[in-house]
Amino acid sequence: MKYLRKSIRKLMWLGLALLVVSLAAPAFSQSCALCYTQAASSGSKMIQALKSGILVLIVPPTLGTVGLIFAVHRRRNQIRRPDDLDDSTDPGNDW
């Protein structure tokens, strides 16, 4: 029963995440007209510098987030008490 509740909770979080991502799709289509015209009228060196700048702004936060998730995932069992991991204390297993 406890496993079923955890699975349902995970599915609910996944559904919520998919909903948030799908609602944010229109935001990706908005862009600054000035930035677009400047990038379109610039040369190949400027376009390459713009691409490099985008990578510089995206990569560090992404790596930091992945590292934080990895660290939390590895240390999650250090915080749990042994009696929390035991399913025999669950009142739903008495029957």
Residues found in the chain:
95
Domain count, the chain: 1
Residue 94 has pLDDT above 70, yes or no: no
- Give 44-90 pLDDT, tens digit per residue: 888 888 888 888 889 999 999 999 999 988 887 676 655 555 555 55
Residue 10 domain-assigned (yes or no): no
Task: With beta carbons less than 8 A apart as the criterion, state whether 39 and 47 touch.
Answer: yes
Q: Cβ–Cβ contacts within 10 Å for residue 39, how many? A: 14
pTM listed for this prediction: 0.43
Return the pLDDT at 65: 93
Could you tell me the residue range of the domain that residue 55 belongs to?
43-80
Q: Quick check: is 6 in a domain?
A: no
pLDDT in tens, 25-43: 566 656 677 777 877 788 8
Phi, psi (5° rounding) for residue 80?
-70, 145
31 part of a folded domain: no
Structural domain contains residue 13: no
